[in-house]
Structure 1
């Protein structure tokens, strides 16, 4: 067994560990029966109110004995008396992972797939959000709790439901006592959002320990992180009747740029396939110097570069695509953003009497993130007869002598001299819970009220207004047909004068709640075992408000000066390149709920649990959900457990009530085929140039139905020998009326298949109306997920010291989704789905081995993810000199399985000092090659792999 990953006793709930505060084999006063459960990381009640646990150590010969009691579940009990799969990671195990933050800790766990990585902020409006998705079922279906209580969702969530979950950046790792991860649905206790599972962070409290810790993580060439934390408690709760624990911390990480990693520094990837040389290029047609779209002669409707037409090579930083030069934007982006976080945690416990106590829990955080991408792209209008037109376009002829340009011309352009686009995001969060707990009239009770808020602000620079850009272009001081840095002083000054720097968009999410629950043993069965009951009530109110700036709402005539628009609201300038006015939206909802749970042991070898919950939502109606579970012990060395339950997930307030509005641009560039061209024509619009991103719109849908789910689990835990235990839990989740949006890849692959997904967008800079993708919220149909979680653990005493090991792994068996009600299912396990634009790993796992001897402790960790077939991609044939030969090939790369190894050693020369050194990705393995364009980063899939390479780290802690 690996220290810190706790297993629970089936009967006694005690844990015998070979290390102080550690993780060890389980015993039940020598009974083989309880040792069989050493793999059962935890089992909890069917309602699964996971919450803070108090750990009491006792002396047991050469081993230290720990008794772990769950204090916040619906029915108070010794932790080993329950029947559902929970994995528990304590403070020592957290340290042994080498994780610098809660984000790193959670997102690297094998059972976690599909969460938003920090790298997603590069080119995406994520505001730095990082979430957790258990079993790839979804972040907004995985409930995150702090000390067993709900918190406000992320204030930067969007009207599509992205970010409608808790942001892991808000929790400091130094304040965590333990993390409990329930890997199956729990709506019968928590209501909505718990379809996939629950992650409960339990903070330290009622402790007198004090420490200060400093850490440094150093990748090569960027991405270095440093931080400090101070934590400690005052007041002896037992003797003084009170205790206050406070933890404060800060950390800062530098940026990691694409140019610092060979595998991700360019949008051009060359490869050998089928005995020939091929190239993949995900460039942008918005180049510098500008491309232009011809409107006459043999070149009509083609996008061309004046350099290519003149027989010159494409400028540095771009590459030829047909007759145009496409910009290699990857050369100017980050792989990891710059980030700075500050956090504070406080926990006050005050004994009112021997049976009653008051508690106050508080969390505060401030996260700032700076992400940078390539200079802003957009379309310019070169007016016929203007000086630019007459100088650069009028002389151009095709091979038959026809003028290529006769009217006003659209010029896709990259405003390089404005510098990189920079997003500076700030996410502020606080959560406060005040309550009473204790015993009254034979009942254990818990009463609490909470309030939390997430406030997100996004600031930008490097973005001009579209009309402002058109004005300086018409003034003649800007020349889009020259290279970077070649503008005249007047041109540079004009660009600087329209460069908007300031607040752009944001949002605020609030939650207020009150909850009360009681539990007790009602009576004993004839076999002497109690029948226990718990029930409770809860109420919460959540509110969300989007906060777009006046610039984002098109309320300003001059965004830089802040001058109001002459024509009124939404009639002013809009952002160059993705110009569309944002519309503020906001709403609130109230939820009332009640639950009950019963637990009984009709036989010595059988435990049964049943629970039921009723919820009434002010905006989507009411729902009743239930769960039943069992725990069976047919043999002393064997445990069988299982459950069946139902679940419920309500749409977010914005998903129901937001108005239709701009939602940025597509993640990938697309060509316009015959189907889409016909749709555009029918709407009075035109297509974008080849290989171009399209505008996206989205909005709320009042007719959106809540999701309903069923979940099943069946697990076996077997003790093979006194040193080795083996466990496996099968799980299945089925969802109907799933809500979301049609993936863009599916829409552009079959434009006529899905009615109502197309709309129009008019670029105010060029007065051109383009066809656009309508990504509105819909009920997409059914989803099915299934898999097996494995857990193998062992411990041995050796001549070198105490050796412990653990293998945790998840095998995904089913991951299939419909995109429309009644439509076909799309699968993506080990096979990248173009329709879903994602892949699910068949296997993900982690093998840890720790050796403790004297003052030293060493840990080696192996992490693995199996490979898959990459996205279907068309590549172009190239000659030996790099020129195109006119051939194309559809390819699907085999993305290799990925293995990395971590190491760390800890030295405790004295009781008040601890020094740790180590390395993540010890052998500096690059991410496997992928041709996906789902991210701004190219060359690997940034959603699944860490680009930092080898990271050397050190940590020193002092206790005082």
Structure 2
């Protein structure tokens, strides 16, 4: 369809076209999984027992992407539609259509026609991945002395994955300088190797959806299906020991102590692909990850912890805990936790807690190499010279630029830290009735983030080192690698309610679990001010800050059947405004400033004791009324999630039916 250059505030793209990648997205990726579990327990010396457990899984999945977009560039993929005996009818029709709008091109007759093309004949791009996991645990537990117990264990876990190319991938056929690659396959009749040879010969026709049988056969001849992408392995070896028992007596009961130590060794490796080696022919658009190949990396973690329960007096309990973690590559972190529970009256309880925590970067976030990708769009200006980074042809400082984008690991990352607080009240006036309300606050500092291009552009003054320039002072690179960026402050209320009555030979139960967001604000650097509230507004990164969301249910059950109806509610929020609307230069009659709330219902019926007491059959309907997600503007070149629904809130798959059988023997 025609590209809406006014909506995107990109006048230079007036004659461009648009293709809806969201319609090509695969909503349900195919996957087959086999899981297994075995456990054996032996009793030793009467009160001690030793257990051995083995769990694992084998999974085969296929991840599908939209068909490849093909367009010429002046460096490594110089393709255009030629004029020859094979192409003359199509060439002349296209040339005459262009000349009718741009008469000045009449002198160019006979020259190849440049194009941008979505290769429908290529089929969807596909990765096929096999993943194997296994975990073996050996544990022993039993009494030590009066009232004290121990538990000791050791485990080994491993996860391995490998990926190969499926459909939709083809050898490019050119070297980095644009010349044909002699190592790439050449289809019969083509003037050069790979996909480039097919296009420059006119065998593939970008101006039609219907390719000839010869073109399809030639396309198959340069297919890269089956080429290995990459693989990786993650291993964990762990041993732990803990003891627990009473210490002394207080007015409210016996003080209890639990303490333990554990040690684990983590190993990670990532294999690149021989198909992406320097001497191998390039596969067009394949996400080879050789830049992230890692030899075995090892991290050792030692930890010790203790937890003390003090029933100071009747109805009042104080729990104090602390944990020390020693990471070989990040140093030591000590994190305490303090919690209280007070029940002055049997139906009423007050509770509260305070704790600290931390999270270290993953191996990938630290060690991944730099992936250097060209920015393909024409919707970006230098944000230092043109605040906001939106191109404007009337302003020389706001000309469109196409820098390279760096992504990858950052060896200078630090752990992120957090402080958490919570306080609440619980009412239980009767056995089947309860109500709780809790306030919580989470403060996170040095957050480990992968900032979007838009976040960097909008805050260019805060991250000058992320905009790298060439000797002429022009923007050459935007560095989007992982970063410790600022802080996040989040506060909210958690509501839980349950109520039930007996009747009609069974029991009715209703309940709700809801979250009301009070605060969500972020800042991108330590010294920057906190930004505006993120509650109820669209954002590209993280979770959307919905003001209210809940899961509610009502159920009936007796000895033979259980029926449950569940409601899922997600509050609405302010929609994203595309550049033209945001700049106030254009309006669209169907633009919804606010995304509507998303409400769906699920129904499940379980039949119990079928044939014997250990059999259950459950029939279910998800999204009972087949509700479509509310329209939301979510697409951008960074996420590519589609422009009609918000994947962090809604599910576009509609009504679905489920069957589950449980048999114990």
Could you state the TM-score of these two structures normalised by the residue count of structure 2?
Answer: 0.81
In structure 2, do the counterparts of structure 1 residues 615 and 752 end up closer, same or farther at CA, with 3 Å as the change threshold?
closer
- In the alignment, does 2:634 pair up with 1:911? no
Q: CA deviation at 1:592?
A: 0.9
Find the counterpart in structure 2 of residue 929 from structure 1.
Answer: 631
Find the counterpart in structure 1 of residue 280 from structure 2.
Answer: 557
Find the counterpart in structure 2 of residue 511 from structure 1.
Answer: 236
- In the alignment, does 2:595 pair up with 1:902? no
How do residues 429-508 of structure 1 correspond to structure 2 at under 5 angstroms? 429-442=133-146, 443-461=148-166, 462-466=168-172, 467=174, 469=194, 471-473=196-198, 476-487=201-212, 489=214, 491-502=215-226, 503-508=228-233
Q: Per-residue displacement from partner, 1:297-325 (whole Å, max 9, x unpaired)?
A: xxxx966xxxxxxxxxxxxxxxxxx2122
Alignment check: 8 A CA contact 1:578 1:665 kept: no
Alignment check: 8 A CA contact 1:268 1:281 kept: no
Alignment check: 8 A CA contact 1:834 1:872 kept: no
- In the alignment, does 2:508 pair up with 1:806? no
The partner residue of 1:865 within 554, 570, 591 is: 570
Alignment check: 8 A CA contact 2:309 2:318 kept: yes
The partner residue of 1:359 within 46, 51, 59 is: 51
- In the alignment, does 2:307 pair up with 1:597? yes
Find the counterpart in structure 2 of residue 671 from structure 1.
Answer: 379
- In the alignment, does 2:25 pair up with 1:333? yes
Find the counterpart in structure 1 of residue 450 from structure 2.
Answer: 741
Q: Distance in 2 between matches of 1:583 and 1:915?
A: 47
Alignment check: 8 A CA contact 2:272 2:288 kept: no
SS at structure 1 position matched to 2:463: coil
Alignment check: 8 A CA contact 1:381 1:409 kept: no
Q: CA deviation at 1:931?
A: 1.4
In structure 2, do the counterparts of structure 1 residues 674 and 441 end up closer, same or farther at CA, with 3 Å as the change threshold?
closer
Q: Distance in 1 between matches of 2:81 and 2:411?
A: 52
- In the alignment, does 2:92 pair up with 1:369? no
Q: CA deviation at 1:724?
A: 2.1
The partner residue of 2:435 within 726, 734, 737 is: 726
SS at structure 1 position matched to 2:353: strand
Q: Distance in 2 between matches of 1:858 and 1:921?
A: 16
In structure 2, do the counterparts of structure 1 residues 528 and 959 end up closer, same or farther at CA, with 3 Å as the change threshold?
closer
SS at structure 1 position matched to 2:218: helix
In structure 2, do the counterparts of structure 1 residues 959 and 608 end up closer, same or farther at CA, with 3 Å as the change threshold?
closer
Q: Per-residue displacement from partner, 1:5-50 (whole Å, max 9, x unpaired)?
A: xxxxxxxxxxxxxxxxxxxxxxxxxxxxxxxxxxxxxxxxxxxxxx
Alignment check: 8 A CA contact 2:424 2:438 kept: yes
Q: Per-residue displacement from partner, 1:501-522 (whole Å, max 9, x unpaired)?
A: 1221232221111111111112
Find the counterpart in structure 2 of residue 709 from structure 1.
Answer: 418
Q: CA deviation at 1:555?
A: 3.2
In structure 2, do the counterparts of structure 1 residues 644 and 753 end up closer, same or farther at CA, with 3 Å as the change threshold?
closer
Q: Distance in 2 between matches of 1:384 and 1:623?
A: 55
SS at structure 1 position matched to 2:274: coil
Find the counterpart in structure 2 of residue 533 from structure 1.
Answer: 257
Q: CA deviation at 1:643?
A: 1.0
Q: CA deviation at 1:852?
A: 2.0
SS at structure 1 position matched to 2:465: coil
Q: How much is the aligned-residue C-alpha RMSD, in angstroms?
A: 3.8
Alignment check: 8 A CA contact 2:520 2:535 kept: no
Find the counterpart in structure 2 of residue 106 from structure 1.
Answer: none
Q: CA deviation at 1:479?
A: 4.4
In structure 2, do the counterparts of structure 1 residues 577 and 637 end up closer, same or farther at CA, with 3 Å as the change threshold?
closer
Alignment check: 8 A CA contact 1:589 1:653 kept: no
SS at structure 1 position matched to 2:201: coil
SS at structure 2 position matched to 1:458: strand
In structure 2, do the counterparts of structure 1 residues 615 and 706 end up closer, same or farther at CA, with 3 Å as the change threshold?
same
Which residues of structure 2 form unaligned runs of 5+? 175-183, 185-193, 390-398
Find the counterpart in structure 1 of residue 269 from structure 2.
Answer: 545
The partner residue of 1:419 within 120, 123, 126 is: 123
Find the counterpart in structure 2 of residue 818 from structure 1.
Answer: 523
Q: Distance in 1 between matches of 2:351 and 2:80?
A: 78
In structure 2, do the counterparts of structure 1 residues 838 and 529 end up closer, same or farther at CA, with 3 Å as the change threshold?
closer
In structure 2, do the counterparts of structure 1 residues 452 and 650 end up closer, same or farther at CA, with 3 Å as the change threshold?
same
Q: CA deviation at 1:940?
A: 0.8
In structure 2, do the counterparts of structure 1 residues 708 and 332 end up closer, same or farther at CA, with 3 Å as the change threshold?
closer
Q: Distance in 1 between matches of 2:21 and 2:199?
A: 27
In structure 2, do the counterparts of structure 1 residues 433 and 694 end up closer, same or farther at CA, with 3 Å as the change threshold?
farther
In structure 2, do the counterparts of structure 1 residues 737 and 411 end up closer, same or farther at CA, with 3 Å as the change threshold?
same
Q: Distance in 1 between matches of 2:29 and 2:385?
A: 38
- In the alignment, does 2:339 pair up with 1:645? no
Q: CA deviation at 1:671?
A: 0.7
How do residues 22-37 of structure 1 correspond to structure 2 at under 5 angstroms? none
Q: CA deviation at 1:647?
A: 0.9
Find the counterpart in structure 1 of residue 396 from structure 2.
Answer: none
Q: Distance in 1 between matches of 2:382 and 2:337?
A: 51
Q: For structure 1, which segment, 609-618 or 501-510, has the greater mean C-alpha deviation from structure 2 after superposition? A: 501-510
Q: Distance in 2 between matches of 1:338 and 1:695?
A: 34
Alignment check: 8 A CA contact 1:790 1:808 kept: yes
Alignment check: 8 A CA contact 2:229 2:288 kept: no
Q: Distance in 2 between matches of 1:334 and 1:369?
A: 13
Q: CA deviation at 1:717?
A: 0.5
Number of equivalenced pairs: 607
In structure 2, do the counterparts of structure 1 residues 772 and 334 end up closer, same or farther at CA, with 3 Å as the change threshold?
farther
Q: Distance in 1 between matches of 2:127 and 2:205?
A: 25
SS at structure 1 position matched to 2:626: coil
In structure 2, do the counterparts of structure 1 residues 420 and 612 end up closer, same or farther at CA, with 3 Å as the change threshold?
same
In structure 2, do the counterparts of structure 1 residues 708 and 887 end up closer, same or farther at CA, with 3 Å as the change threshold?
closer
Find the counterpart in structure 2 of residue 622 from structure 1.
Answer: 332
Q: Distance in 2 between matches of 1:404 and 1:875?
A: 36
Alignment check: 8 A CA contact 1:633 1:639 kept: yes
Q: CA deviation at 1:741?
A: 1.9
Q: CA deviation at 1:589?
A: 0.7
Find the counterpart in structure 1 of residue 82 from structure 2.
Answer: 388
Alignment check: 8 A CA contact 2:72 2:80 kept: no
Q: CA deviation at 1:932?
A: 0.9
Q: CA deviation at 1:859?
A: 1.4
Find the counterpart in structure 2 of residue 846 from structure 1.
Answer: 551
Q: Distance in 1 between matches of 2:102 and 2:202?
A: 32
Q: Distance in 2 between matches of 1:653 and 1:413?
A: 38
- In the alignment, does 2:285 pair up with 1:576? yes
Q: Per-residue displacement from partner, 1:597-648 (whole Å, max 9, x unpaired)?
A: 2111121121111111111111111111111111112223211111111111
Find the counterpart in structure 1 of residue 394 from structure 2.
Answer: none
Q: CA deviation at 1:846?
A: 1.4
Q: For structure 1, which segment, 622-631 or 771-780, has the greater mean C-alpha deviation from structure 2 after superposition? A: 771-780
SS at structure 1 position matched to 2:632: coil
In structure 2, do the counterparts of structure 1 residues 400 and 852 end up closer, same or farther at CA, with 3 Å as the change threshold?
closer
Find the counterpart in structure 2 of residue 58 from structure 1.
Answer: none
Find the counterpart in structure 1 of residue 365 from structure 2.
Answer: 655
